[in-house]
Amino acid sequence: MLDVVTLGETCAAFVAKSGGPLRHTLEFERRIGGAESTVAAGVARLGYRVGWISRLGADELGEFILGVMRSENVDVEHVTMVNDEQTGVFIRENRSSGSSNVFYYRSNSAFTSFSADDLDEDYIGSAKILHLGGITPGLSTSCFAAVERAMEIARARNVTITFDLNYRAKVWPPEDARGPLEGLMANADHLLAGREDLIKLTGITDSEAQLNYLIGLGVSNIALKVGADGTICSGPEGVEHVPSIAVDRPVDRFGVGDAFAAGYIVGLLKGLPVPGAVNLANKVAGWSLQLPGNIESLPNWKELDAMSEIIDVTGR
């Protein structure tokens, strides 16, 4: 039996080593980039059994990604390597201030043809939690149908569904994304959403109004991340504000939201209420911010315990 199953695309990521516009960059670091695979690795680093469902091209970059996930003790039994299809790629600028541009080359990747027929009901049903995100359903019509079907399977098998909005306008514009994503969010047991993502998707700027919008979708448990102001939690216990963790010198924000999701899921596996799960998520994300990379920066328990200035809410 697995603790968590995730579903989503992972690309080969080439991250600029020097700052400034991409046109002037000569050297890159090769990493892997994928929200759901980063979450899977984060949960596995904290000692849980995780499976990742995906499709990769049967090429060198696909083999690289598969090798990294195996090294993280993530089950890759349901990752299909597809001949004559390419693994997705993205390239990220390195800017010391402001947003770093990301350039995607994934429109015809192997994963875009993933469909509901590729899902194994028993595999999803063997997990305690199914984790999904808002990027995958925007990649193609068949990917959206696969996410819907995965939710149906989880619901029928009493598997808890966590959903990270993780909205990307470069994947699908808000006028195309809002309705479908609202349907998916409404079907989640636990919803993670960031203030900036909601602004891009809905145009709603006020945090209280954003929370009311999410509650209006019928979601039972919500973690609304509002940046330096922390996280607003809504659940059976009511609404509660959880402060953020201050990191003096953040090194890399690449994948920090996925680190947060991994910590939140581990909190759920430990039986913590939503505010407690958010506290643990903050701790995992705070550690991740101090190191470069996404998977590379994910902590284990020893490293989390080293954050002695943070109240230990792990419940271990």
pLDDT mean for each 10 residues of the chain (316 residues): 96 90 90 96 97 98 98 98 96 70 90 97 98 97 98 98 96 96 98 97 96 96 93 93 76 78 98 95 86 83 74 39
pLDDT on residue 306? 80
Cα 60 from chain centre? 24
At 261, list the tokens.
């999701």
Q: Tell me, what's the pLDDT at 310?
A: 45
Q: Delineate the domains of the chain, giving CATH numbers in brackets.
A: 2-9+35-60+72-80+115-305 (3.40.1190.20)
How confident is the model at residue 251, as a pLDDT?
58
Residues in Cβ contact with 208 at an 8 Å cutoff, skipping those fewer than 6 apart: none
Give me the helix-helix angle, 195-202 and 207-216, nearest 10°.
Answer: 70
Tokens 């979601």 label which residue?
219
* Cα–Cα distance list, 217 to 187, 189, 309 (Å): 9, 12, 37
pLDDT at 255: 65
Is 189 catalytic? The answer is no
Given a contact cutoff of 8 angstroms between Cβ atoms, the answer to whether 138 and 105 are in contact is no
pTM, 2 dp: 0.93
Annotated active-site residue in 117, 118, 258, 305: 258
Q: List, in order, residues 6 or more apart from 138 with CB less than 8 Å away.
A: 144, 168, 171, 172, 176, 177
State the Cα torsion 179-180-182-184 to the nearest 10°: 170
Query: DSSP code of 294?
Result: S
Contact 78, 36 (CB under 8 A): no
Rounded Cα gap, residues 20 and 100, in angstroms: 9
Q: What is the per-residue pLDDT for 313? A: 41
